A = this chain, B = another copy of it.
Amino acid sequence: MIKMTCHGDDAYKYSDVIDFASNSNPCGASKKAVDAIRNNLDRISMYPDSDCVELCKEFAKYNNVCSENIIAGNGASEVIRLFCEVFLNKSDSVLIPSPVFSGFEANARLFCGEIKYLLLNSCDDFKINADEVLGEINRVKNRIKVVFLCSPNNPSGQFIPKESILKILKEAPETYVFLDESFIEFSEMDSMSSEVEKHGNLFVLRSMTKFFALAGLRVGCGVGNKNLIEILRGAKLEWNVNFPGQVAAVESLKDKEYIENSKFLIKKEKQNLFNGLSLINKLRVYPSYTNFFLVDIEKTGLKSGEMKSMLLKKNILIRDCSNFRGLSENYIRICTRTKKENEKLLDAIKEII
């Protein structure tokens, strides 16, 4: 019997809050994406393309790979699940450096035998060290089938350098590196997706949920070696990506102006938010390569759940990080929004502590 574990994104439960928890682009969705849905409302009675041909083409261009390197999913979540369903057996172990997005654990648990955790160190800003990952892979006799990495990491904001990933790929060729890059557009770093044909054990996850702000449409993709993608395509659910999702994702990926403008705005406001948070006594703000910040609130004397509740009374939603494995009630996560909203958050935190 299989059973999923819980997640933390609960923004849909609240109305009229400023959402600093979901980590999505404060500019909202591309207008061209919204127009694409509106202009195609007469086609919702038709089945969507089960093979997502157009969508895979755009994802391929965006990732600098071929269409045959792409599998599209009902959100990145479905891609994680499909990967686990296809490649994991009860005799396999997986490795999850933590803290990290709970979706890896929730899905891997359904299909693998054992999950090993590599707890990252707060003193080292939760950085991932390739040698430690390799050490853990070599230590486990029942070999590690998949190591799940997230870069930039949710919730720490850390980026894993290309050379570290390449080292793991080369020195652990029997282990799949499942690399979640859902937040890479918010950084100024390059995706690893164009490396998939060189490294058959690399699988990169991309999402339309965060930077492209299409959470409601459920579109994501995996980028991998052609052989690996062929296997995943053969096992996927039919018609898995809905039609509005397909057209909106295609138009979003093509909308270079939206992409550039969003990056420009977020880069500026992210720096302002970091500066503002850092100036508040009693907060330890971790450095971040992406649009959100992990914050240690221990010195405020408040627990993360208390701070979440107090901010909710001011119509502000943050992420209580206490249910991240390897974190505690001392941690919250805050994402960058617009200048005005960020200022409102800073004022609210100052009032509370």
Query: Are B46 and A238 in contact, CB atoms less than 8 angstroms apart?
Result: no
- Once A12-B48, A28-B45, A45-B28 are accepted as A-B contacts, the answer to whether A242 and B239 lie under 8 Å apart by CB is no
Query: Are B38 and A216 in contact, CB atoms less than 8 angstroms apart?
Result: no
Within 8 A of B (CB), among A76-127: 77-78, 81, 85-86, 103, 106, 110
A316 within 8 A of B: no
A130 within 8 A of B: no
Max count, chain B CB within 10 A of own CB: residue among A7, A29, A48, A239: A239
Q: How far is the CA of A209 from the CA of B238 in the complex (A)?
A: 13
A22 within 8 A of B: yes
Q: How far is the CA of A216 from the CA of B188 in the complex (A)?
A: 36
Q: How far is the CB of A31 from chain B (nearest CB, A)?
A: 10
Which one of A228-236, A259-267, A283-291, A306-314 is at the B interface?
A228-236
A-B contacts besides A44-B215, A216-B242, 10 pairs, CB < 8 Å: A9-B47, A12-B50, A22-B47, A29-B44, A44-B217, A48-B215, A103-B238, A217-B242, A217-B244, A242-B245
Query: Are A43 and B85 in contact, CB atoms less than 8 angstroms apart?
Result: no
- Look across to chain B and name the residue whose beta carbon is closest to the beta carbon of A218: B242
Pick the residue among B34, B48, B236 that contacts A216 (CB under 8 A): B48
- Once A9-B47, A37-B244, A214-B45 are accepted as A-B contacts, the answer to whether A4 and B236 lie under 8 Å apart by CB is yes
CB neighbours (8 Å) of A48 from chain B are 12, 215-216, 218
Pick the residue among B1, B44, B239 that contacts A34 (CB under 8 A): B44
Pick the residue among B1, B33, B236, B242 that contacts A231 (CB under 8 A): B1
A49 within 8 A of B: yes
Query: Are B3 and A29 in contact, CB atoms less than 8 angstroms apart?
Result: no
Pick the residue among B1, B37, B45, B237 that contacts A44 (CB under 8 A): B37
- Look across to chain B and name the residue whose beta carbon is closest to the beta carbon of A111: B85
